[in-house]
Amino acid sequence: MRMTSYYDFIKPILFKMDAERAHELVRKVLKFNLNFMKFNSELLNIKIKELMLENPLALAAGFDKNAEIVTFLSSLGFGYITLGSVLLKPNKGNPRPRIVRYPKLKSMTNSMGLPSVGIEKFIENLKKQRKFSPISISIAGNTIEEIKELYLKASKYAEIIEINLSCPNTENGRLFQEIDNFDKLSREISEIKNRITFVKISPPANKKDIENHLELADLCIKRNIDGITAINTLQVKDENLATKQGGLSGKLIFNLMLNTVKILYKETRGKIIINACGGIFDWKDAVLAMMHGANTFQIYTALIYEGISINKSILKGINNFLMKNKFSNINEIVGYKVK
């Protein structure tokens, strides 16, 4: 049975279940190697700092918070996969229900609250897995010392570290996105930095937020922080969640992501890596994000709605686009539309 037809069969069953229980079931079942799902083309090779990626498609943080299905995920042809966010100590997260789907809008809201097994168990899980693509580990903490300790522990097992500055579902989720706090954090991280390092930011809600992002980008350049992942989920209200509010992801935040990427690229002009994250569902979305300045792009909600065949579909579509328009490699489209 083809994987696409399998997903067409199983998706309606999963979507009748509670969203989080369905995701837990998928994590338990999908632990095998699916290398046949890959799409390879030298046109898609892209280099970020010293790391050569087979392609710019990445998995966003949140799908595998505890490094339990790395073998499976890294066999799907991602350029890199982001695990976590992981915390220093175990955390149960927010009460359930904490995920609500909006199938017609290809979006969802979560109020997970950063559940985590903690860094020690996370590393134990990761050591048991095989990996076929580079690993990025997303870390989050309430203090600079926590983040530094996490960074040093996680960096032994990853090519990339992504510091989550912007979780909308926790009390201190945006503490380090405030410029004074990020100034202190980035200074401390720059002293211990031993891996490619990204920071993940929240969606801008107003002009002040945009100014904050531009200041943050300038500090990243100053402190040798390699890149920015734009954007995290958008804080919204939903009465179906136990917490009554959460972070919106999927198609509904695509335009917000695209505009944020464009603003950051205009400000930085290639001085930092930009990872587009938010509402990318097909190759056209991905090309648009890259043409507005993204070096790589991350997906999560699309994987939930479209299934694991989406990777091959996106990469094949980009490859065909490059050939049709006579681009010699994918680097040529980065920032193509930004004047």
In the predicted model, what is the mean pLDDT of residues 132-157? 97
CA 244/CA 70 separation, integer angstroms:
32
Mean per-residue pLDDT for 1-14?
52
Residues 200, 165 contacting (CB under 8 angstroms): yes
Class of domain 31-333: alpha beta
Under the banding of pLDDT at 50, 70 and 90, the label for residue 35 is: low
pLDDT at 7 over 60: no
pLDDT > 70 fraction of the chain, expressed in percent and rounded: 89
Check whether 6 has a pLDDT greater than 70: no
What percent of the chain is helix, strand and coil (3-state, nearest 5)? 45, 20, 40
Average pLDDT over residues 212-234: 97
Question: pTM, whole model, 2 decimals?
Answer: 0.92
* pLDDT, tens only, 257-289: 999 999 999 999 999 999 999 999 999 999 999
At residue 217, does pLDDT exceed 90?
Answer: yes
- Other Cβ atoms less than 10 A from the Cβ of 2: the count is 8
* Percent of the chain residues past pLDDT 90, beyond the cut: 83
Give me the amino acid identity at 334: V
Residue 3: which H helix or E strand, with range?
A: helix 3-15
Task: Compute the distance between CA of residue 158 and CA of residue 195 in angstroms, rounded to an integer.
Answer: 8
Give the pLDDT band (50/70/90) at residue 168. Answer: confident
Give pLDDT, residue 10: 61
Q: CA–CA separation, 129 vs 236, rounded Å?
A: 36
